Amino acid sequence: MTNKVKSNKALKSLTTFFTQEGKVLSENEYNLLGSKQPILGSTLNNIFGGYRGAISALKSSPRFGLIVKSLDTPEVKSTAKVVETKAPVEPIPAKKPVAAKPAKVEVEKKNG
C-alpha cells in the first residue's frame, strides 16, 4: 500500500476528471482513453490494486465520496460464475487404523 499523499493526490485528480466527464467511467471506457487518462493504469495498480480498488476508495473517501456518488456510476458486474452444485455428499467415515502389535521375542536364558 502506498502512502496517503499519493492516494489523496490520485483521488483528487480522478474526482476532477470524473466531474468534467459528468459520470464515472467503466474500466473498459477508462482504458480506451489511452494517453488522456489522468492516472495511468499501472499507477492505479500500484496505489489501489487496480481500477476497481480506485473506484471503491473514491466512493468511500470522506472528501470525494459525496461528489462521486452524485455522478452516474456504472454497475460493476461480478465476474465470478455461479456454479451449480449437486446434493451434498455424506462423508464416508474413515476406518480406524489397526494398531500394530509388537512381535513377541523369546529370550533364552543361559545357565551359568
Measure the CA angle with vertex 39, ends 36 and 41; round to 5°.
95
Confidence (pLDDT) at 80 = 58
Taking residue 59's Cβ as centre, other Cβ atoms within 10 Å add up to: 14
Within a domain: 51: yes
In angstroms, the CA 110 to CA 46 distance is 82
The answer to whether residue 76 is domain-embedded is no
Give 10-residue mean pLDDT values along the chain (112 residues).
Answer: 78 85 82 84 85 83 73 58 70 76 76 64
Give the per-residue pLDDT at 106.
77
Q: Is 93 within the bounds of a domain?
A: no
Q: What is the pLDDT of residue 107?
A: 75
- Please count the structural domains in the chain: 1
DSSP reduced 3-state for 72 = strand
Q: Is residue 15 part of a domain?
A: yes
Using a 10 angstrom Cβ sphere, with 0-12 exposed, 13-18 middle and 19 or more buried, the burial of residue 44 is buried
Q: What is the pLDDT of residue 83?
A: 67
- Name residues whose C-beta falls within 8 Å of residue 51's C-beta, 6 or more positions apart in sequence: 27, 30, 41, 44
Domain with 54 in it: 4-69
Q: Does some domain include residue 81?
A: no
